[in-house]
Structure 1
Amino acid sequence: MKKIIIAASAFSIMTGAAFASSANGVVGNINSDTRVITLESGKSFTIPRDVALPAIQAGDTVSIQLNDEGDKVQAVLR
């Protein structure tokens, strides 16, 4: 029984980490000069110069892929 609880706990921790590696939402504002995307939820993301910035505008739905730590944008998908 103890092994099942430990396995279930480990699985839930790993699953939570997987969900933390992306942010989905509708673009509220985009500043192409500073490469900052602000979602309608209020979350803002600065896109590094080495990451492609697709042609998006306010109202578009995007998925912002983050690194494992959740502190650096790795891709912006439409």
Structure 2
Amino acid sequence: MISPYTAGALVLVALIVFGPSKLPEIGKALGKGIKEFKSGVVDEAKKPEDTQMMNVTEQPKELPKAEDQTKQ
């Protein structure tokens, strides 16, 4: 866990490096990225059909054509 002194030092360094006008833009971009990441993780967890085992005895509907193979 980050101590309050460490967090304050990080904010001070960010303020010096980026300036006060860029910090809100950086914060918005960081927040949007975290939000998209979390929604992507939640969406992946909601897909049970991907985790189900497929029927391995089922035959393919159509066999691949012989001309699709690479010629040597």
TM score, norm. by length of structure 1: 0.32
TM score, norm. by length of structure 2: 0.35
Select the structure with the greater relative contact order (CA < 8 A; seq sep ≥ 6): 1
Larger helix proportion of the pair: 2
> Which is greater in Rg?
2
